[in-house]
Copies of this chain bind each other. A is one copy, B any other.
Amino acid sequence: MKLSTRTRYGVRLMAALALNYGQSPVFLKNIAKGENISEKYLSLIIIPLRRIGLVNSIRGAHGGYSLAKDPSQITMKEIVDVLEGDCSLVDCVKNPSTCPRVPICASHDIWAIIGGKISETLSSITLDMLVKMNQEKVGNAMMLNI
């Protein structure tokens, strides 16, 4: 039940964009440097985030990426859902037709309950909160490395 590296990197990527919200677009190169993650890998991860409208991109020289919404309007659930597939613990919760046991299976119901809790928690945390937690944790020092 571990999160993929893709999702973990994606969250850090979004946090980095949140830091620059309202300013000019950021080069992925710089985020990659600041977060010490391969730029190529990040460039794959950002695609679905752009596709669902969380990120805007500008191509060409002096292009870059920026958040499409205010960080207070973006939740962790949106990010996890798109990068992880969804945030349920078993496939049969999102796609009940994939398992014939669903109608007679109580553990399915358990996983649905727990998945609900996870969704609830993820929905309650915004990018904005993540950025603020970061500031409280390390001050403004680390913020400038982007």
Contacts and interface: CB of A to CB of B under 8 A. Distances in A.
Interface of A: 1-4, 7-8, 11-12, 15, 76, 80, 84, 87, 89-91, 103-107, 109-111, 113-114, 117-118, 121-122, 125, 130-131, 133-134, 137-138, 142
A104 B35 CA distance: 12
Nearest to A116: B121
A118 B84 CA distance: 17
Question: How many identical chains are in the complex?
Answer: 2
B2 A106 contact: no
Given A1-B89, A87-B1, A114-B121, A106 B15 contact: yes
A103 B134 CA distance: 10
A110 B130 contact: yes
B11 A107 contact: yes
Contacts of A109: 133, 137
